[in-house]
Structure 1
Amino acid sequence: MVTGHSNRSCGLFVTGTDTGVGKTFVAACLAAILRSKGICVGVMKPVETGCGLSQGRRIPRDGLLLKRMAAAQDPIEQIVPYRLKAPLAPLVAARMEGIRIRPGRIEKAYERIRSSCSFMLVEGAGGVLVPVTDRLFMADLIARLALPALVVARAGLGTLNHTLLTVSFLQGRGIPVAGVILNDVDGKKDLSKKTNAALLRRLLPVPVLGQIPFRKGLSLQCSTRTGPWAHLAGRHVDFEALLRLAGAPR
């Protein structure tokens, strides 16, 4: 049993069917779009693993990208409360460093950021059943932060099962799902990429908001301008509908 906020927050928790499905890309696009609309957006990645070392500090590349795309003024220590070395599940990576992840610390950082912005954008790590602590899965963290979930899924073969399971699980936990975005992460020829979106629209009780094509040579970490991101995202995904569903200010 987990506790959470009494009221749903204005924002989204970007989760996925798996690791490597493009959650950071989608979250960064969302941050860029919100910023282009003049909306003050708060960003957060509660736990980031696989952080390299620079001048004695762990560098959370995803968290820094979100901060840059949102032009957020919050310190990176609040945006990414836990920055871990090993590219593993948060529970395992934290144990390897002798760190105990405390959900209360994450919630306090979240509240500090939320208090000074109009819309919260939080990116998870891995899928909804990735363990954060011995007693807390990523889905539990979504519930505690009281945000609707946006599910990012692969575009290709296998995504039907993964996406249906993820949405079903979240809804079974009482977590609202704002929608699903499919993302072509590998550019490989796959006939199912032409049929999955239409079939998921028939099978899912939530909207499939679009499918992002493979982006050859695009570097997330080298991007500094928000305009191209907002344009690219808007060409393939109905972000306007998503933001309406999430209650973004107009």
Structure 2
Amino acid sequence: MQRIFITGIGTGIGKTVVAACVTEALDAAYWKPVQSGLEETTDTQTVASLISRPGACLSEAYRLQLPASPHLAAKAESVAISEDVLLGHAALSQTGPLVIEGAGGLMVPLNDQLFTIDFIQKLNASVIIVSQNYLGSINHSLLTAMALQQARIPVLGWIFNGDAHTNEDDIIRWSRIPRLGRIPQAGNINKEFVKEQAALLRAALPHKKEETA
């Protein structure tokens, strides 16, 4: 099964919208392993409202109240996040591509032993990195790329979110990771917007045919 993990160079840079666009482009299933922070709309609910097949969203393995790092949110509720439970949920989607959205960046801890980058390795997933221009984004982008390359995790490419900037060309050149596309700044993000962006991304994304018996 094709697994694509959406990670970011930090928090709050638009991973959920990118995940919705990639899910739509590949006609994939979507999964957020751990949702921390339940006071507002969850990422799964947001993606379900934006894609053509809302039934393609899998349930989270863990739903935690505190809007914090998963390991801290879990401790606040005396919950133990289990690697086996996470991998078991991932296995529920047996056919077609699965788009997985992480929490924050690569070094976000899921529990006291398991970081997001470790989880990606155990999933045998390829990665799309979401970047956005801000002061310090070159550093954060290249550190993210370096960590993935050192871990020998396959990276499909960058998706930049927001307004264009010449920093993008530098990040691509220095990281030697290709650009897949950019999701532009938009005042109204809805199904039509996601469908349009998915159509633009589709040609750059990998499409694998499932083997038949």
TM-score (norm 2): 0.89
Would you say 1:230 and 2:195 are equivalent positions?
A: yes
CA distance in 2: counterparts of 1:14 and 1:96, whole angstroms: 26
Structure 2 segments unaligned to the other structure (5+ residues): none
Would you say 1:97 and 2:74 are equivalent positions?
A: no
Would you say 1:11 and 2:6 are equivalent positions?
A: no
Q: Which amino acid aligns with 1:84?
A: L
Correspondences of 1:206-245 after superposition (within 5 Å)? 206-216=177-187, 218-219=188-189, 223=190, 225=191, 227-235=192-200, 238-241=201-204, 243-244=205-206
Q: Which amino acid aligns with 1:211?
A: R
CA distance in 1: counterparts of 2:185 and 2:52, whole angstroms: 23
- More displaced stretch, 152-161 vs 129-138: 152-161
| Correspondent of 2:53 among 71, 74, 85 | 71
Would you say 1:23 and 2:15 are equivalent positions?
A: yes
- Residue 169 of structure 1 is matched in structure 2 by 147
CA distance in 1: counterparts of 2:110 and 2:17, whole angstroms: 22
SS of equivalent residue, structure 2 residue 29:
strand
For the Cα contact (< 8 Å) 1:153–1:183, is it kept in 2? yes
Q: Which amino acid aligns with 2:3?
A: G
Q: Which amino acid aligns with 2:173?
A: R
Would you say 1:62 and 2:52 are equivalent positions?
A: no
For the Cα contact (< 8 Å) 1:15–1:127, is it kept in 2? yes
Q: Cα RMSD over matched residues? A: 2.2
Post-superposition CA distance 1:28-83 (Å, at most 9, x none): 11112223xxxxx221110011113xxxxxx8621123345262546x7x521101
SS of equivalent residue, structure 1 residue 162:
helix
CA distance in 2: counterparts of 1:65 and 1:179, whole angstroms: 24
For the Cα contact (< 8 Å) 1:14–1:123, is it kept in 2? yes
Would you say 1:248 and 2:208 are equivalent positions?
A: yes
Q: Which amino acid aligns with 1:240?
A: A
CA distance in 2: counterparts of 1:146 and 1:11, whole angstroms: 7
CA distance in 2: counterparts of 1:28 and 1:71, whole angstroms: 11
Structure 1 segments unaligned to the other structure (5+ residues): 1-8, 36-40, 53-58, 188-192
For the Cα contact (< 8 Å) 2:24–2:198, is it kept in 1? no
1:73–1:232: structure 2 CA closer, same or farther, 3 Å change rule?
closer
Instruction: Point out 4+ residue stretches in structure 1 off by more than 4 angstroms.
Output: none
CA distance in 2: counterparts of 1:137 and 1:96, whole angstroms: 18
- Residue 178 of structure 1 is matched in structure 2 by 156
SS of equivalent residue, structure 1 residue 125:
coil
Deviation at 1:249, TM superposition (A): 3.6
Deviation at 1:143, TM superposition (A): 0.7
- Counting aligned pairs with the same residue, the percent is 32
Deviation at 1:229, TM superposition (A): 1.1
1:214–1:60: structure 2 CA closer, same or farther, 3 Å change rule?
closer
SS of equivalent residue, structure 2 residue 177:
coil
How many residue pairs were aligned? 209
For the Cα contact (< 8 Å) 2:128–2:157, is it kept in 1? yes
SS of equivalent residue, structure 1 residue 181:
strand
1:73–1:146: structure 2 CA closer, same or farther, 3 Å change rule?
same
CA distance in 1: counterparts of 2:87 and 2:104, whole angstroms: 19
CA distance in 1: counterparts of 2:3 and 2:120, whole angstroms: 11
Post-superposition CA distance 1:207-248 (Å, at most 9, x none): 0223322212x25xxx4x4x431213445xx4421x22xx43
